[in-house]
Structure 1
């Protein structure tokens, strides 16, 4: 009988990887291996390595169950990698060359064409982790089909860093040495936390430098050696990584692959999955790109699209969940209705959803911001006949969408100058109420308070405008703007440069209006003023008795049910002019104080009435309200001089 050539099995490929050309006797003769199974397990270490690396069908089923549990196949499938075929094939081919040692690839390709250490660089939301996990799943399955047990090693900062000096370096070295001793794929996410540039001056920076040196040593060993290990790292801050570490990595930029065609394919795929085929993908993509550009000054990413779709589905399912809670029926008997969505649902979701790459804002910025929905109108603004309507109408034009269709590009920046207490803040609140938009008030002094570190004030300014774009449409009121518009020293010049840059980037399509107020015109930088032209208005105190009467009447309106018939705005205005009350805020505070005094007198009178005939109770009330009772006696004496007598019940 002719000798037939034996086909290489998975065990043969594994033995070649572990032992090379010199294979042990028990590997060449499987029947002897089965006979001496127990002695081999007890004595021969090479048999232990072989048995641990061998992928039996039972072992593979366990591996596949774990993969399906951690990386569900319906989600982490190559079919979901839309527009990433080139990067996916590059990772798989590199795996086949360096880990599986595929004969065809080994013959024709080297490390230059198919790198052994790959750096996936791209902004947040470009799909770095998703691409790696889909590729890793395929690599492990292909390793089984080739008879190689591939070990995935996923490193995170929490797995390595320790509070004890030197322990972080030892832990990293232990992970990396193990990975290089077996067929493995190493994945390090947020790689900038391991390889970022540091000066090495403090104790923490010295420890970081030691970790980077250990990582550099290991990468050099992997790239130049023959170990069956592939390295994949991902980062959104490629330029922050040390140069010597970057030279050992082959960069694959994912930003370049995010094209409109790719985003359109993601939208189409999501529409098919949800069954919303009645919507046009082009219209949805235009809407989402417009909203993201307004809020984040960055391009749309595939993760943003998926998040918006999830938000739409969540909002459409909310009524169903509410109905189930109210009915308290058996969930097994509830039939899920078919969910339909319109383009207006996507518009609302795009405004409400937290985009993937949005960063958390500084706590100081959050504390300095006051967000509200004002409930005031033009009737609450007294005086300002020459400027009130002009300012409010100009602001309304900035929020009017039809102006864009007419080609009008209004300047969404307004500067209100004038003495304290003349109504600058109230004017901005009326504008927000009339246009039904949010009102965000920021005091310049609070925003800059405690900014002691280099670059911290500039970051707060940037975070502030980023937060405002997220809450559009809205009005941003920079109260006491001279605190951040003043350019009197080198440090404030840097802050002012950041303010100018952010002001210049505010556009009409952002649906954001910036209103700055100040009572120190001489401190405002001229270049900053130019950014508000021609919308610079002087908010003055009332110019004549008519305007003063309006201001007083507005503040008396709340007290109208309690006022004496003889009290009117004209008489109060004359009294204020004699007492030199020179601002609307002074009027408001004086009227409020008069109301407080009157309420205190009423409370004192009621206390005396409730005390009755008890002398001790009357003495306690008298001691407590002595000043208010003395003032009440003076008022009653005036009434008696006029011929009017009030009894206790009337008081």
Structure 2
């Protein structure tokens, strides 16, 4: 025993000339023939052990009475995993059929019997089908000795025999296949993306032999990325359910687990199910939560192991002739840069398809889908016009708009006499109207713009007096590209990228920018220059990049930089203390407006009363193309301003506006507005019950 390093209780092979026998402690004196194992080169008087075959999958069955009844699938799965781990760590070098293993779990001893042993991991499917047959066979005729190695796995069939796919009912959703027409009818505005994905999926899943004929590897994965609410998950589910393949939908966060090795085990089980159900599509929703970047500080050891496991699984999908080309992975995320770069290469995620912000035509298609089951009285022309006004709205936003409009229609009917009479009967003429859609838009902001300072200023050009030339230039720069894009394409020119409004304070520069956004109907982002400056290195530049990124996502949009001289100070004029900070912000502005990435759908409107302090690189054509002077109003402009201001005031009927315009020579628009305000205050001081502002107020008599 010392020579072979064995002790009491070990399993030993005894040579008897015709083969080898196994004798277990406590058994009667008998031997099981192992004719396939021989012991060559035995020393005199003693047999010599040889290298036995390593066990791949060891299947056990519990023969002891269960200590408790486990009703929860999750608890049952954890019990099975813990028992498998305990048995896997069992100090055992050799194993054979019918061997009894005993472990202690939660204070109770559990006994398991070996029912089957396979050599390869791929034999698992066949072993599951033959478990019952193996149990009925004679062990004496099947006995053989195996080596328990590091790659040996342990499965327990007694606990989860009733559950074919354990512990994943909540994480995995199986979709029933439907026809392509039915599935795609619920997706609007993504026809181009649908065609791309169908070209990538349908042939590999239906005719994989064509790829093998040409010696090509079919696509293994597709990554759908884009802003939130654009329909990535909805598109993945629709395409998956439209094929005749099996579909497994996995939510990345739900698959994650705090237990050591449990997430990796779930991943392997998911793809094992996919191979069993081949052809199959696996949809990994929010894949960035499952496989984040493995850079330092980006995640812990658990995340790194999960990423490595998924990489191994995706590479291993190419092996096996039976299932080759029959399993495809679709990942969805709104943070593609948060995914580990190793996944974003051909052979894993072969193609990356962006699901961007829908344009006017796509919004029209989405609204048609959303209103298909809603009674409405909106014509196609009205719906198309409404779609062209919903700039920056994604599919989820439009769904919220329709839901809000439906609520308005319901409240309108409930407030009517018919709605108050009978609450149990719904009239047939209760429909959604265009006014309901328009009224619901202010309550729903575009998703991409909610984290920014966004406002819809209710200012019109008609409320601004004396700036007809500036208003016309603003219309040409902002409204014409939206209303007449074919004219720009026909003439081969690009619309202006930026407009600079400069002039003395109080001459309606900011009001002009607000009115421009209101009249054009685009999203408006107001940025105050000093608010972007941050004392931490790189934060000011990051804030500038983030503003432009979200403005692009919600395009067409206007970014209004008020007091831009605080951000884009001339590099020659900046002092040594703040020069580096301002230069970084200025460089970010220059790159965003006219850098490698083209600025499309975003117009920059800036205002300042110190144009000499702005860096000259920002004021060249291609960045701030149009530089408009907004000066003090002349006499005719002052007449317009006084008329506009007095429309909302109660003034003496015979007041001479022309005389007031002559008296206010040299005043700005803000000073004229303040003059009218002061006249009203003085009138109240003279007589709090005055019916109107008198023309004899001292302010008007100066």
TM-score, normalised relative to structure 2: 0.51
Shift of the 557–220 alpha-carbon distance from structure 1 to 2, 3 Å rule, reads closer
Equivalent residue of 2:353, what SS? coil
Shift of the 248–601 alpha-carbon distance from structure 1 to 2, 3 Å rule, reads same
Is contact 2:639–2:657 with CA below 8 Å preserved after alignment? no
2:612 equivalent to 1:522 = yes
Select the residue among 250, 258, 261 that pairs with 2:348.
250
Shift of the 317–336 alpha-carbon distance from structure 1 to 2, 3 Å rule, reads farther
**Which residue in 2 is equivalent to 1:160?**
256
Per-residue deviation, 1:234:
0.3
Equivalent residue of 2:588, what SS? helix
Per-residue deviation, 1:522:
1.1
User: What is the rounded CA distance, in whole Å, between the counterparts of 1:244 and 1:487 in structure 2?
Assistant: 43
**Which residue in 2 is equivalent to 1:415?**
500
Equivalent residue of 1:195, what SS? coil
Larger RCO (CA within 8 A; separation ≥ 6): 1
User: What is the rounded CA distance, in whole Å, between the counterparts of 1:280 and 1:593 in structure 2?
Assistant: 50
2:208 equivalent to 1:118 = no
Select the residue among 543, 558, 562 that pairs with 1:479.
562
Select the residue among 622, 625, 630 that pairs with 1:539.
630
**Which residue in 2 is equivalent to 1:457?**
543
Shift of the 286–561 alpha-carbon distance from structure 1 to 2, 3 Å rule, reads closer
For structure 2, the residue ranges without an aligned partner over 5 or more in a row are 1-122, 139-154, 188-193, 572-579, 691-697
Per-residue deviation, 1:493:
2.9
User: What is the rounded CA distance, in whole Å, between the counterparts of 1:209 and 1:22 in structure 2?
Assistant: 36
Select the residue among 391, 398, 406 that pairs with 2:470.
391
Shift of the 484–221 alpha-carbon distance from structure 1 to 2, 3 Å rule, reads same
Per-residue deviation, 1:476:
5.9
User: What is the rounded CA distance, in whole Å, between the counterparts of 2:469 and 2:509 in structure 1?
Assistant: 14
**Residue deviations 1:68-124 (CA, integer Å, cap 9, x gap):** 9x7696899667696454445467569xx9xxxxxxx8xx89997467x63444556
Is contact 1:180–1:227 with CA below 8 Å preserved after alignment? no
For structure 1, the residue ranges without an aligned partner over 5 or more in a row are 1-13, 30-43, 55-62, 98-104, 143-149, 162-166, 297-302, 607-634, 636-651
Per-residue deviation, 1:491:
0.8
Shift of the 500–274 alpha-carbon distance from structure 1 to 2, 3 Å rule, reads same
Per-residue deviation, 1:251:
3.0
User: What is the rounded CA distance, in whole Å, between the counterparts of 2:371 and 2:554 in structure 1?
Assistant: 34
Per-residue deviation, 1:419:
1.8
Per-residue deviation, 1:168:
6.3
Shift of the 350–465 alpha-carbon distance from structure 1 to 2, 3 Å rule, reads farther
Shift of the 561–253 alpha-carbon distance from structure 1 to 2, 3 Å rule, reads same
Equivalent residue of 1:377, what SS? helix
Shift of the 485–71 alpha-carbon distance from structure 1 to 2, 3 Å rule, reads farther
Shift of the 90–52 alpha-carbon distance from structure 1 to 2, 3 Å rule, reads farther
User: What is the rounded CA distance, in whole Å, between the counterparts of 1:444 and 1:245 in structure 2?
Assistant: 40
**Which residue in 2 is equivalent to 1:323?**
413
Count of aligned pairs: 506
2:329 equivalent to 1:232 = yes
Shift of the 500–201 alpha-carbon distance from structure 1 to 2, 3 Å rule, reads same
Is contact 1:441–1:479 with CA below 8 Å preserved after alignment? no
Is contact 2:527–2:562 with CA below 8 Å preserved after alignment? yes
User: What is the rounded CA distance, in whole Å, between the counterparts of 2:648 and 2:426 in structure 1?
Assistant: 54
Per-residue deviation, 1:519:
0.7
Shift of the 518–257 alpha-carbon distance from structure 1 to 2, 3 Å rule, reads closer
**Which residue in 2 is equivalent to 1:164?**
none
For 1:213-228, list aligned pairs within 5 A.
213-216=308-311
Per-residue deviation, 1:462:
1.1
**Which residue in 2 is equivalent to 1:626?**
none
Per-residue deviation, 1:273:
6.9
Equivalent residue of 1:478, what SS? strand
Is contact 2:177–2:242 with CA below 8 Å preserved after alignment? no
User: What is the rounded CA distance, in whole Å, between the counterparts of 2:251 and 2:215 in structure 1?
Assistant: 24
Select the residue among 428, 432, 448 that pairs with 1:360.
448
Is contact 1:373–1:439 with CA below 8 Å preserved after alignment? no
**Which residue in 2 is equivalent to 1:617?**
none
Equivalent residue of 2:474, what SS? helix
Shift of the 333–502 alpha-carbon distance from structure 1 to 2, 3 Å rule, reads farther
Worse-matched range after superposition: 229-238 or 417-426: 229-238
Shift of the 524–268 alpha-carbon distance from structure 1 to 2, 3 Å rule, reads closer
Larger strand percent = 2
Shift of the 207–447 alpha-carbon distance from structure 1 to 2, 3 Å rule, reads farther
Equivalent residue of 1:255, what SS? strand
Larger helix percent = 1
User: What is the rounded CA distance, in whole Å, between the counterparts of 1:362 and 1:557 in structure 2?
Assistant: 35
**Residue deviations 1:425-461 (CA, integer Å, cap 9, x gap):** 345566677x585794724325515585555223343
User: What is the rounded CA distance, in whole Å, between the counterparts of 1:597 and 1:487 in structure 2?
Assistant: 45
Equivalent residue of 2:456, what SS? strand
Equivalent residue of 2:449, what SS? coil
Is contact 1:395–1:412 with CA below 8 Å preserved after alignment? no
Is contact 1:291–1:351 with CA below 8 Å preserved after alignment? no
**Residue deviations 1:523-550 (CA, integer Å, cap 9, x gap):** 223343234777423233356x887788
Is contact 1:461–1:499 with CA below 8 Å preserved after alignment? no
Select the residue among 17, 37, 52 that pairs with 2:126.
17
**Residue deviations 1:207-228 (CA, integer Å, cap 9, x gap):** 5435434544565677668999
Equivalent residue of 1:24, what SS? helix
User: What is the rounded CA distance, in whole Å, between the counterparts of 1:467 and 1:308 in structure 2?
Assistant: 15
For 1:47-196, list aligned pairs within 5 A.
52-53=163-164, 83=195, 85-89=198-202, 92=205, 113=217, 118-121=221-224, 123=226, 125=230, 130-132=235-237, 135=240, 152=248, 154-160=250-256, 167=258, 170-176=261-267, 178-179=269-270, 183=276, 187-196=283-292
Shift of the 503–376 alpha-carbon distance from structure 1 to 2, 3 Å rule, reads farther
User: What is the rounded CA distance, in whole Å, between the counterparts of 1:564 and 1:307 in structure 2?
Assistant: 52
2:321 equivalent to 1:212 = no
